[in-house]
Every structure is written in structure tokens, then in C-alpha cells.
Amino acid sequence: MWQSLLKDMDSTPAPPKFATNDVAIREQLPKGIADLTTMVAAAKNTDQNGRLNAAMAYVHDMVPTVTDALHDIDPVWPKE
């Protein structure tokens, strides 16, 4: 889902009022995707510490920077 969002953002320029949010999402979302990839790999290897570390990294990379940016764009998205 997140990779699809980034791809869609590449073909759809953000309106000026969302420029700051666009930058925040583009900078942080690839980190969140990498964290999720690490989390899945750790889960496949039953690496509980690796999974927890990746989950914490995901939260750190996404909340509140990306979640607040998404809320600014669409208030239905919860504000953290």
C-alpha cells in the first residue's frame, strides 16, 4: 500500500498548500517501508527482538511526521 502511494505521488504533484506534507511523506515513507520489510523478515525468522526493533523503528519513522501529514491532507486520517 505504501509503495503504491509513493508511486502515485510521483505522477501527481501536490497542491502548493500540501507542499510541506508532501516533503514529509516523501522523506519518511521510504524509511517506514524499509522498517516493515525488516519486520516481516524478522517475523519469518521468528526473531522476536528483530521484529520488536523494526516495529519501534516504524513507529519512530512514521509517527507523528507522516501520520500528521496524512491528517492535514485528509482529516479522516487520525491525528497522532
With a cut of 80, say whether residue 66 has pLDDT above it. yes
Say what the pLDDT of residue 80 is: 74
Which residue segment(s) compose the domain that 41 sits in? 29-75
pLDDT above 70 coverage of the chain, percent: 100
3-state helix, strand, coil split of the chain in percent (to 5) is 80, 0, 20
Tens of pLDDT along 2-41?
A: 899 899 999 999 999 999 999 999 999 999 999 999 999 9
pLDDT above 90 coverage of the chain, percent: 82
Average pLDDT over every residue of 60-75? 95
Q: How many domains does the chain have?
A: 1
Contact of 58 with 35, CB cutoff 8 Å: yes
Over its C-alpha atoms, the chain yields an Rg (Å, rounded) of 14
